[in-house]
Structure 1
Amino acid sequence: MGSEGVKKPRILCLHGFRTSGHILKTQLHKWPQSVHDHLDLEFLDAPFPCQGKSDVEGIFDPPYYEWFQFNEEFTEYTNFDECVQYIEDYMIKHGPFDGLLGFSQGAVLSAALTGLQEKGEALTKVPRVKFIIIISGAKFKSSLITEKAYSSPITCPSLHFLGETDFLRPYGTQLLESCIEPMIIHHPKGHTIPRLDPESLKTTMSFIKRIKDVVENEQ
């Protein structure tokens, strides 16, 4: 059987706060074609129009969206349940998806959704999320979510990008503690999707091989 017979892992990609699916797709163009050739990426816009100024204004064109709203301490959330339902409805209609990729707010969401699904608290009507790719992620701080999402470790394979000067780095490091055997890529940049140097490309391709094996074994 040739390579055309091998199923590419299908990934639902969740963008950052006050950006869009199109913007995330553009940001991921930094990654070499050799990575994209092995993945089937689908980009979803968040359900809520941007309710304030976007940090990418002047860099990327609108429209901008947000997954949910939150207070300054990131301990209270508005529209979180509606957001989860919106994602599940999309996965039912357009799935199945093998994994999730998220950046920033989308990364926080991707990890939590996987934890919630493993505990039977969310995404109960769609197939199990088999892996996650977390870029500039963190954990939710609300006890209502943490008690469910991270009460036991997230068991699926996970790849985490941690930026040296990223303001979320300490929180992304905390998230590692809630994942079993996470693969980690450290990069010198801040809160961004980094280019892949030879070492990080090697790690990424190793993770892709791992998730392809998982996907093929579950067909």
Structure 2
Amino acid sequence: MATLVPPRQRHTHFRQLGRTIGVPVPVPGVAMSEGKPPLLRLLCLHGYRQNQRSFHERTGALRKALRGRAELVSVNAPHRVRAPAEHGNRGGRSPGLGLLFCVPAGGAAEPRAWWFSRPEEETFEALEEAARCQGLEQALETVARACAELGPFDGLLGFSQGAALAAIVCALQQRGDARFPFRFAVLIAGFKSRAAPHGRYFREPIAAPSLHVLGESDRVIPAALSRELAAHFREPAVLSHPGGHFVPAAASQRAAYLEFLARF
């Protein structure tokens, strides 16, 4: 990977590693009407302890910034995250599969997870090198079902644990998994899953075009972990910002998103 400009020199930095970007790539069968690029559809995968509704709200600024260029469609992760008081009560557990594609009419929905690094406790720690984990297959099936029932989608947009899942989906697509038809991925505050069973997804470089967005002040997913994930992609684009663990959408970052999306 090329050396990134240090944050003290530039607060926001966007670089295509390995090649110049910014030139729209014509897509067979997609017409450009009146010179306007086609509206892209992105399937959005929220972070741990978030849900479809909360992530929709947290990406409001990004949706506004990309209005007319990209549509963001969020779905729920399949696993319910139990409240701390419930961890000793197995009877309170619910898979919540009926919540996958519905936005609650009011109130906050329960927190969700894509998988657990501690199966016994049904919790997740991004930095934990877990010997085993639980729930990934259900997470992949959720993404596949969304692609089939809500698609087609041009790309994936994942945040935190959702970005880690999106990277695995990219690896599976590269291996010929037809469940995941998309052309690119935007990975925000992403990281390489440290669960031992997931190591097989990163044995070879991932070819999917990718934009990796990282916060230099992120204390939940340190920027170094997002750069580590980017290194597993063949020609990643990297957007760094001075903030923490959130989806950035300021003017300079909007320009970087649009520059990346202009390729599709």
| TM-score calculated relative to the size of structure 1 | 0.82
Which stretches of structure 1, 4 residues or longer, exceed 6 Å deviation after superposition? none
- The residue type paired with residue 116 of structure 2 is Q
- The structure-2 alpha-carbon separation of the partners of 1:126 and 1:132, relative to structure 1 and needing over 3 Å to count, comes to closer
Aligned residue number for residue 156 of structure 1? 208
Counterpart-to-counterpart distance in 2, 1:209 and 1:32:
16
Please tell me the residue identity of whatever aligns with 2:141: Q
| Aligned-pair CA distance for 1:15 | 0.5
Larger Rg: 2
CA distance in 2, matches of 1:107, 1:31: 16
Summarize the alignment of residues 189-200 of structure 1 with structure 2, pairs less than 5 Å apart.
189-198=243-252, 200=253
Per-residue deviation, residues 32-60 of structure 1 (Å, max 9, x unmatched): 7341320121110111122235xxxxxx9
Q: Shift of the alpha carbon at 1:4?
A: 9.3
1:116 is the counterpart of 2:169 = no
Q: Say whether residues 1:186 and 2:240 are aligned partners.
A: yes
Name whichever structure is richer in helix by fraction: 1
Partner SS for 2:58: helix
**Structure-1 residue corresponding to 2:115:** 68
* Match status 1:101 vs 2:157: yes
Letter matched to residue 177 of structure 1: A
1:13 and 1:42 in contact (8 A); partners too: yes
Provide the residue aligned with 1:173 in structure 2. Answer: 227
Q: 1:11 aligns with which of 42, 49, 61?
A: 42
Deviations 1:103-129 (A, max 9, x none): 111111011111122123xx43342x2
Tell me what 2:260 maps to: 207
Question: Residues 96 and 126 of structure 1 are in contact (CA less than 8 Å); yes or no, is this contact kept in structure 2?
Answer: no
- Amino acid in the other structure paired with 1:176: A
Counterpart-to-counterpart distance in 1, 2:66 and 2:36: 18
Give how far 1:74 is off.
4.3
Distance 2:243 2:236 in 1: 20
Q: Is the 8 A contact 1:9 1:40 kept in 2?
A: yes
Give yes or no for contact 2:166–2:185 (8 Å, CA) kept in 1. Answer: yes
Paired with 2:63 and 2:74, the residues of 1 have a C-alpha distance of 18
**What does residue 35 of structure 1 align with?**
66
SS in 2 for 1:63: coil
Equivalent residue for 1:217?
none
**Which stretches in structure 1 are left out of the alignment for 5+ residues?**
54-59, 212-219
Is the 2:40–2:70 contact (alpha carbons within 8 Å) kept by the matching residues of 1?
yes
Q: What is the count of residue pairs matched by the alignment?
A: 200
RMSD: 2.2
Q: Go from structure 1 to structure 2 and tell me whether the alpha carbon gap of 1:3 and 1:32 turns closer, same or farther (over 3 Å shift).
A: farther
Residues 64-84 of structure 1, C-alpha deviations (whole Å, 9 max, x = no match):
211111135242321111211
Are 2:154 and 2:184, in contact at CA under 8 Å, matched by a contact in 1?
yes
* Whole-Å separation in 1 of the counterparts to 2:33 and 2:230: 37
What's the TM-score, normalizing by structure 2? 0.69
Identity %: 28
